[in-house]
Each structure stands twice: as C-alpha cells, then as structure tokens.
Structure 1
Amino acid sequence: MKIFAHRGYTKKGDAENTLEAFESAVAEKMCIELDVRLTKDGVPIVFHDASLKRMTNNNLKLADINYGELKDIKMKTGEAIPSLKETLELVNGRTLLLIELKTAKKGFTNHRLEKAVIEILKDYSGEYMLQAFNYFTVKYCKRKLKRIKTGRLSSNHYGSGYCGDFVNYKLKHLDGKKVEKFRKKGIEVYGWTGDDGNTGKSLEKAVLLGLDGIIL
C-alpha cells in the first residue's frame, strides 16, 4: 500500500505544499500528494487554496497574481511558494507524486490548467499520478496521457460516470462494499483523511479495506 504525505510531510513544522515539506517527505520515504493551480499569467503553482489568505499575510487570489509578483510573497512561516517546475526539479524521481489539479469540482473547464501541467510534465521522467474532482479534467488528462494513472476524487459519495484508473475517496466514508464495487471494474481505490481521524486508526482501516494507497 502506498502512503502519501498530504501536501508534503509537515510534522517537522514546514508549511504545506513547500519544497521543505516535500524534501521531508522524501526523507521519510513517503510518496507525495500535492495541489496545482495557475497564476494569472498561466504558470502552474503548487498551492491548495484559491486565496493566499490562510497560508500567507496576503489576501489576494492566486489567479489574480502574476508569477513574478508571487515570487516575492512568502508563507507565514517564511517558505517560498513553489512552482510545479521547481517541485519536479527537487523531487527528481525520488518518490511517487500524486498531483491534484485544482479545477472547479463540477462542470466544464477550459482545460487551461490541464494543458499547462501536461506541458511541464512531458519532460519529467519520474513517476506520477494525476487526480481531480472534476470529471472533465480527469477525462482530458487520461486522453492526453494514456500511460499515466489518472483518477477521480470524491468526498462522501460517488455517482455514475468516468473516474479513470482509480478513485480517491474520503476514508471515513469508505467501506468494503464501495471498495468491492470499484475492484470489480478494475479500478484502484485510494483513501484520504483530510484533517479528521488519527494516523494509526486511518492506516488500520486502509489495511483492512485493502486500499491501494492512503493520503495522510
């Protein structure tokens, strides 16, 4: 079972989704889950929220800032906000990456983020997987990157429709029946914990369910 550090390994005090947190994850021999958004000028940045408010002392939205301006903004704990390119250069194939594309959860997208991410990934030789909540994002990425595992995120339910090679379900809502349903379709099953539950119990449940991976 693959174990992913959620937005990097932050238990040493590093801010989430930073090069420091990713280096710590590599040192802990963990896979890495991370999030990607676009700046105003179309540069893929590793950052979870649409707004900078929670992680920095700035209230702007990432989509309203050019990459050059963003380089001058630091996390509250002092780290820089990395680009996807910088992150790939740091990891350099040392561990598996699970990259979430932060498109709208529902509805059509213009595939601007997807195209920018795929363009950067074409030169990356390390192992990675792609995921998103959005059906159209998953479908687009799988069509463009046929050999790359691509999957769909879900919180507490999963309707009909395409989910690619795997589904990544919120762990507290996963049970044996759901896992079996996807297994019969040849779909891998992952679980994510968010901020709830303790690590030990989450790992125990993931093992009992026979998950392919867990994001802690």
Structure 2
Amino acid sequence: MTLIFAHRGSAGTRPENTMEAFFEAEKAGADGIELDIQLSKDGELVVIHDETVNRTTEGKGYVKDLTFAQLRSLDVIDRFETGKPLSIPALEEVFEWLAQNQLLCNIELKTAKVDYPLIEEKAVSLIRAYHLEERVIFSSFNHYSIIQCYRLAPEVEIAPLYSEVMFMPWVYAKSIRAKAIHPRLLTTAEWIIRAAMNHGVAVRPYTVNKAKDMRRLFKIGCTAIITDFPEMAVQERKAEREKASGQ
C-alpha cells in the first residue's frame, strides 16, 4: 500500500509546520508527517521551513539569529483562519506528540543554505531519547547532511531530496547507504519510480497535490507520496483500492 506523508503537516488546509497542521494530518488518516528543522540562535531544534521567519510569521529575521524564546513568541500567520493560537514548534514538542501515536516522521534538514553546526548530532540524540529510530526518515537537499546522519545513526533511514532529473537514482541512493529517494514529482517519470523500487529503493515523490497524480501513483504502487492534502490523498487511495478490488 502506498503510504501518505503530510507535507509540513496538512499544509494545504492548516498553517504549515505547526502542531495544528500535524494534528490535522493525523485526523485525516495520514501515515506520516513531513517537517523541516533548523537551529535557533541558542541551539534549539525548531520546526520551520524558510531560513527566515518573514513569510510564515509576523516577525522578521533569520531563524539562526533568534533565540528559541524569541521564535516562540512570534505569531504564525493564519491564512486559514483556524482561530487558534499558533507558534513555531520545537522538534521535541512534535516528538512528545508522536510518542502518543504511530505516525512516521520525515525530517528534512534545512542545511543547504545555512550551516547549522551539530544539527545532525542534536537530531539523532533527540530521536534516540524518544526511541523513534524506526519511525523517522532523514532527508535533505544537502546530501552531506544525511550522510552525516547515517554515520551517527545507521539504524535511522536516510533519503536524498532532489529536484532535477537524476541518472539511475537507485544506484546513487545505494552508494550513500540510502534506502529511499525523495524526488520532485515533476521531474520523475513512472519508469524511474518502477525501476528504483525494482532495485529495492523506496520512492516518495513530492509534492503530490493533484488527484490525478495521486491516482496514478497509487495505481503503480509507489512506496509513498508527500502531499499538502492528506485528506484528499486518503480518499483517493481508498477509491483506488476499491476500484482495484472490483467493489
């Protein structure tokens, strides 16, 4: 069965990378969540996508230049008008919640533009503290970062993120000890997905937001999809399974 990962939580219906977005993903029936981590000025692992807080909060500045207390005090912009107080979560807050369910968690290390010293070590330490080794996947566009994660914790899965066409990505994945690839959907043909899976490498394309693409990937048995709309994906997966079983 193709698994469904909620991209930055249910980012299509709730403010991204907030606890509210993660709660909604669980409610929708997603199998896992995807989130992004960076380090605050005082070394706290925080969940936010951009290197600055400008787009998603009422504040200004780089994440790396703000303490956790300063980041926490910022109001997250609520374009969905949920009416709930929203803040930037600490990764530990997410882990405390994950300890109460069985969801998987794809952690994207935002290390391609900003150098965050020891971010991999901090993340691995927290994963082990919460015994989440079997439920976490590390991904990043900075492949040195996930290789460092593998060196620190070979028991935690790693998966390179990439946005362009890659020649025989399953060969590359195996060369860095990755069990999966996370390619951009628009640059990944079905035959590449099939070939990678046939070579024992899982494929989780991003960002799959159109129903027709969801159905196509469910039909070929793609390992997983990463989507902003987990509720839609769950419904489409159910419909495709019913269709395949002749109901």
TM-score normalised to the size of structure 2?
0.78
- Give the Å deviation of 1:211: 1.4
Aligned runs of 1:54-203 on 2, under 5 Å? 54-77=55-78, 78-92=85-99, 93-104=101-112, 112-126=118-132, 127-158=135-166, 160=172, 162=176, 164-193=178-207, 197-198=209-210, 200-203=211-214
Partner of residue 245, structure 2: none
- CA 1:152–1:111 in 2, change beyond 3 Å: closer, same or farther? farther
- Tell me the alpha carbon deviations over residues 11-47 of structure 1, each in whole angstroms, 9 at most, x when there is no partner: 54x3110111111111112111111111111111000
CA contact under 8 A between 1:152 and 1:163: conserved in structure 2? no
User: What count of residue pairs does the alignment treat as equivalent?
Assistant: 210
Rounded to whole Å, the distance in 1 between the matches of 2:25 and 2:216 is 22
Partner of residue 15, structure 1: 15
- Tell me the alpha carbon deviations over residues 102-160 of structure 1, each in whole angstroms, 9 at most, x when there is no partner: 11169xx6752111111211112342211111121121111222122111001122265
Rounded to whole Å, the distance in 1 between the matches of 2:110 and 2:102 is 24
Aligned runs of 1:198-213 on 2, under 5 Å? 198=210, 200-213=211-224
Deviates more, 1:45-54 or 1:97-106: 97-106
- Tell me the alpha carbon deviations over residues 140-182 of structure 1, each in whole angstroms, 9 at most, x when there is no partner: 1112221221110011222656361110011122113322442
Rounded to whole Å, the distance in 1 between the matches of 2:107 and 2:116 is 19
Aligned sequence identity (%): 27
Rounded to whole Å, the distance in 2 between the matches of 1:165 and 1:101 is 17
Structure 2: which 5+ runs fail to align?
79-84, 228-247
One-letter amino acid matched to 2:88:
I
CA contact under 8 A between 2:121 and 2:152: conserved in structure 1? no
CA contact under 8 A between 2:9 and 2:25: conserved in structure 1? yes
Rounded to whole Å, the distance in 2 between the matches of 1:135 and 1:158 is 14
Rounded to whole Å, the distance in 2 between the matches of 1:209 and 1:192 is 16
Structure 1: which 5+ runs fail to align?
none
Rounded to whole Å, the distance in 1 between the matches of 2:94 and 2:116 is 25
CA contact under 8 A between 2:165 and 2:188: conserved in structure 1? no
TM-score normalised to the size of structure 1?
0.88
Rounded to whole Å, the distance in 2 between the matches of 1:215 and 1:207 is 12
CA contact under 8 A between 1:111 and 1:137: conserved in structure 2? no
- Give the Å deviation of 1:8: 0.5
Deviates more, 1:130-139 or 1:170-179: 170-179
Deviates more, 1:72-81 or 1:47-56: 72-81
Q: State the Cα RMSD in Å.
A: 2.1
Deviates more, 1:109-118 or 1:69-78: 109-118
